[in-house]
Structure 1
Amino acid sequence: MGIVLKIRCFAILLVFLGFLIRHRSSAEKVLFVPPPVGNSHWMNQAKIGLALVDKGHIVSVVVSGDIVEKRRAEWPDFQFEAFHDQGTQARLKEIQAQAVSAAGELSLFKTAEVFSMSQVIKEYCTLLLGDSNLVDRLRTSRYSVVISDPIFPCGAILSAYLDIRVPHITVWRLDSFAIDVKATGVPLPLSYVPHILTDFTDDMTFVQRLQNVVLSISVQIISRMLARIMYDELVRTYVGEEESIETVTSRTDLWLYRTDNVLDFPRPSMPNIVQVGGLNVQVVNPLTEDIEAFVQNSVDDGVIVVSFGAMGKTMSKERREVFASAFARLRQKVVWRYVGEKPTGLGNNTKLLAWLPQNDLLAHPKTRAFITHAGSNGLYEALHHGVPMVCLPLFSDQPANAARVVARGLGVRLDFSTVTAEQLYLSILHVVTINSYQETAARLSRLHRDQPQSPMERAVWWIEHVIKHGRLPHLRARAVELPWYQYYLLDVAVFLLAVCSAVLGTVWYSCSFFCRKFCCKSGGKLKSQ
């Protein structure tokens, strides 16, 4: 019996060791290069990173030395590669805070303040690329893929600088430099594809189409010019003299686009563009005892969830009193993500939290509506759980997101800076009491969930596909390599115009020649008679 038991234990040990070896051999090294600002962008990358860790891969992240210890404490599953950023990240956070505090009332001057962030981001990128110790460590690690965000083009530059053969993937929602249109080769008919910085839908009036054309063309020209001015020199220094930020970005093998046609408007795409809208939605966890007790205390009236993201930290006194007053009139309980001085008009039905489990609350059966600034992460959580919305967009893509919510019948939109307590109260009441919003939210939630893979599973599958097969040139459109005059067939148009002109000219000349000959002969005969 003892020998048999030993044999069994030995066999089990061999199986276990074999599993570990096989699991370890499938582990690949993945490098994330997140933007230095924009916490929502980092959170999406971090969630993908956790999913890759669960699949046995090793995830490393490039961060500033000022925050590396904080990141290690928050994300112990990741490895971090730090560099000295000389305080640029701290300066960026200050500029971001100023931009957020100005949201809803952006004048041209304040918009210029937002654009001043670009120069500091360039400085951050210069320090990152110029850190030879960091680059040597990254090259030694021999990563299988680099994942970045196009709002921080430095990720594409770093990927090419480390090894041009290493695949590059981007996770994106909005490219602030408008390089993606050229880099993906996707045609965007402006007749029904609204610019992401407008609040237009895919059903535009003549005036809206005119505005869409003017805005889209002008933004692309200005943004690309800004990108070239800021990054082309870095690309030439670290990648090659013949390279530019556009050529480097166009080598991206896979574009994980955080959209879903259930919420977003259909538009042309390419094989290397994969929709993963909603990948931020996580498994629902039970609420804490105090929050659960507060929610259950709402009985049949239900709960309203309120979150304005980072704006909640900088809300003016006048605005917070407007919101508090409107919430106090509701029969529902209100859970409000809020940081700052307690509003004087706060009702007994409202619970303030510096942080709230947004996904878990939206999944709760007693949740009746979501009041939001229309950030894409919150919108997809609400869509997934079938919760109608009251949107108060602030800046960037938020007005466009709110327009999609309204167009799909998921909710209503208000102006954050001018809404009154009465208007807010009536709008919430409207969304909560009109059955069509609840029914539409439930129907679109079923459509969004009815997929062969979850958005996160799809993202991980494609990342592993790139790791397994390397670069995917067969999925890239030839359009990314064509000069603009070839892409728009201007050379063909000129040739055809020349041919048509030559043919028409020949016909005209021939007709004129025969007419002159005929007329001259006829005239001579008449004179002789």
Structure 2
Amino acid sequence: MESASKLRCSAVLLIVFLCFISIHSCNSEKVLLVPAPFADSHWMALAHIGRALVDKGHTVAVVVSEDIVGKRRAEWPDFQFEAFQDQGIQARELFASGYDYYRNYCALLLGNSNLLARLRASRFSVVVADPQSPCGAILASKIDSRVPLVAVMRVDQFFAEKVTGVPLPMSYVPFLGSDFTDDMSFVQRLQNTVMHTVLPVIARWGASSLLDELVRKHIGENETLESVMTRTDLWLYQTDNVLDFPRPSMPNTVQVGGLFVQEAAPLTEDMEAFVQSSGDDGVIVVSFGSMVKMMPEEKREIFAAALARLRQKVVWRYVGEKPAGLGSNTKLMGWLPQNDLLAHPKTRAFVTHAGSNGLYEALHHGVPMVCLPLFADQPANAARVVARGLGVTLDFSTVTADQLYQAILHVLTNNSYRETAARLSRLHRDQPQSPMERAVWWIEHVIQHGRLPHLRARAVELPWYQYYLLDVAAFLLSVCSAVLGTVWCGCSLVCRKCCGCAKRSGKLKSQ
């Protein structure tokens, strides 16, 4: 009797387990990530989204070149990796022309028949790509044009207005490469108009001239890079109106600013001891991201001298020769738990290059900033920090030790920065979903319902002359010209008639 009862219990447990496995497998979908070939910060955005999808039970595969697949696999063991031979172009052409580099990289990827066969056989439910490298959109169309495509981006690409359908009014939407705000002077609006008009045209021409041939070869004779990118179903923008400036959007553009931010983990024992040793003065965190780990000798001595004058303890992410003027209050680290340090109650300020990931971590945890932007979107990010009252900005190329010291001291002693940071942190946190939860929800929404044509603006399909209503303007101009011409001719005819009658009347009177 007892053995029969145990057998029944075992059978019930087995059935429950099999049901769980069945439900889990039914909800599991295959996701393909196509990162840009370089820029770790861009890869990290896709990787964190992939990790969140894995946690939801999905299978995530990543397309990478063979030279980095070992590193990626060690860092992200939950992912599957599809590698291809890039023939060393990543090391050889890293500083070459951007689109020329992407063309060569994409040509090798798309020309790998074995890889393409494996990707097609996998039957992915969605492709998530970084549009900085157009290869993701081309690859998605190559393996299966019916598979939904999701783009994850921080700033507008040069194709953005055309491929997303989102209008970018030049009167208050600053160009992505400028440090303008949404409150521009006349001269700034003039410059903004020129940059918005000229530079994207040049960039689109350059990209099309290099990549359209590749698109025609692999996708179709009538296809272009622009036509492929317009098929993107969902655009996940790493922005938030708490920090970024409000602007138009479309139903398939979703804000997910702050993807990287996580709940803080406890610091290691030695790090916690260092932080606690700061007392009431607190800690300054200094980091210039994953791409800038070393500085020229002159610049590192400037930073060391400025930081040594502070009463606070300093944690500086730096790899290289130890500065001669390094103060006893400064701790150098090759890697630091940036999010956890920014969340610590003793952290007083963040000295940063204004990369978007660090900015959103500081925003989330309410830490004022001193920005020294270097390139790309960093000057624009720093301008937003200043405009929102979160901190100050300095010129990295000309900054002196005294300027850096005074800027940090200003942020530390002026309570408005910390109060503003705390207020904006509360606004940023007050959301029904975290940015990552929102990103995952939308990706699963795309997976469940397939492509989402009802969310895509018709603007992406219109020729440029229709989009800007040039045909309508030409028609109205023609009508106005015709009406004015008719009126002019009528008036001229009447005038001639009147003049002719007056002349004949004058002759009769003289006779």
TM over 0.5: yes
CA contact (8 A) 2:40 2:290 kept: no
Query: 1:352 aligned to 2:332?
Result: yes
Distance in 1 between residues matched to 2:406 and 2:177, nearest whole Å = 28
Aligned to 2:110: 129
How do 1:321-336 and structure 2 match up within 5 A? 321-336=301-316
Aligned to 1:67: 68
Query: 1:171 aligned to 2:152?
Result: yes
CA contact (8 A) 1:186 1:268 kept: yes
How do 1:95-494 and structure 2 match up within 5 A? 95=94, 114=95, 116-176=97-157, 178-494=158-474
CA contact (8 A) 1:150 1:175 kept: no
CA contact (8 A) 1:307 1:373 kept: yes
By how many angstroms is 1:16 displaced?
2.3
Query: 1:32 aligned to 2:33?
Result: yes
* 3-state DSSP of counterpart to 1:313: coil
Amino acid at match of 2:87: Q
Aligned to 2:485: 505
By how many angstroms is 1:115 displaced?
5.1
Distance in 2 between residues matched to 1:64 and 1:8, nearest whole Å = 50
Amino acid at match of 1:268: P
Task: Write out per-residue CA displacement over residues 452-495 of structure 1, whole angstroms, 9 at most, x where no aligned residue.
Answer: 11100000000000001111111111111111111111111010
Task: Write out per-residue CA displacement over residues 31-74 of structure 1, whole angstroms, 9 at most, x where no aligned residue.
Answer: 00111100000001000000000111000000111121221111
Amino acid at match of 1:18: C
TM-score, normalised via structure 1 length? 0.94
Task: Write out per-residue CA displacement over residues 280-302 of structure 1, whole angstroms, 9 at most, x where no aligned residue.
Answer: 11231111111111001111110
By how many angstroms is 1:520 displaced?
2.2
By how many angstroms is 1:14 displaced?
1.5
Distance in 2 between residues matched to 1:338 and 1:32, nearest whole Å = 31
Amino acid at match of 1:417: S
Give the 3 Å change call, closer, same or farther, for CA 474–259 of structure 1 in structure 2: same
CA contact (8 A) 1:256 1:276 kept: yes
Distance in 2 between residues matched to 1:500 and 1:179, nearest whole Å = 35
Amino acid at match of 1:306: V
Give the 3 Å change call, closer, same or farther, for CA 388–76 of structure 1 in structure 2: same
By how many angstroms is 1:221 displaced?
1.1
How do 1:12-31 and structure 2 match up within 5 A? 12-31=13-32
Task: Write out per-residue CA displacement over residues 409-461 of structure 1, whole angstroms, 9 at most, x where no aligned residue.
Answer: 00000011111111111110110111000000000001111111110000000
* 3-state DSSP of counterpart to 1:309: coil
Distance in 2 between residues matched to 1:504 and 1:130, nearest whole Å = 60
Distance in 2 between residues matched to 1:159 and 1:310, nearest whole Å = 29
Query: 1:522 aligned to 2:502?
Result: yes
Aligned to 1:76: 77
Amino acid at match of 1:38: A
Task: Write out per-residue CA displacement over residues 395-421 of structure 1, whole angstroms, 9 at most, x where no aligned residue.
Answer: 111000000000000000001111111
Amino acid at match of 1:137: R
By how many angstroms is 1:274 displaced?
0.5
Distance in 2 between residues matched to 1:44 and 1:394, nearest whole Å = 20
CA contact (8 A) 2:40 2:291 kept: no
Amino acid at match of 2:41: S
By how many angstroms is 1:312 displaced?
3.8
Distance in 1 between residues matched to 2:15 and 2:347, nearest whole Å = 51
Distance in 2 between residues matched to 1:312 and 1:235, nearest whole Å = 34
CA contact (8 A) 1:83 1:134 kept: yes
By how many angstroms is 1:216 displaced?
1.8
Amino acid at match of 2:398: T
Distance in 2 between residues matched to 1:120 and 1:199, nearest whole Å = 27
Distance in 1 between residues matched to 2:424 and 2:114, nearest whole Å = 50
TM-score, normalised via structure 2 length? 0.97
CA contact (8 A) 1:31 1:59 kept: yes
Amino acid at match of 2:171: S
CA contact (8 A) 2:41 2:290 kept: no
Distance in 1 between residues matched to 2:183 and 2:310, nearest whole Å = 35
CA contact (8 A) 1:312 1:339 kept: no
By how many angstroms is 1:219 displaced?
1.2
CA contact (8 A) 2:151 2:232 kept: yes
By how many angstroms is 1:217 displaced?
1.5
Amino acid at match of 1:128: L
Structure 1: tracts of 5 or more residues without a match? 96-113
Q: Structure 1 vs Structure 2: percent identity of aligned residues?
A: 70
Distance in 1 between residues matched to 2:99 and 2:328, nearest whole Å = 44
By how many angstroms is 1:89 displaced?
2.1
Amino acid at match of 2:58: H
Amino acid at match of 1:132: S
Distance in 2 between residues matched to 1:408 and 1:254, nearest whole Å = 29
Distance in 2 between residues matched to 1:509 and 1:218, nearest whole Å = 42
Distance in 1 between residues matched to 2:112 and 2:420, nearest whole Å = 52
By how many angstroms is 1:5 displaced?
4.1
Distance in 2 between residues matched to 1:364 and 1:480, nearest whole Å = 46
* 3-state DSSP of counterpart to 2:67: coil
By how many angstroms is 1:175 displaced?
4.7
* 3-state DSSP of counterpart to 1:147: strand
Distance in 2 between residues matched to 1:489 and 1:180, nearest whole Å = 19
Q: Bigger CA drift: 424-433 or 114-123?
A: 114-123
Amino acid at match of 1:256: L
Structure 2: tracts of 5 or more residues without a match? none
Cα root mean square deviation, aligned = 1.2
Aligned to 1:85: 86
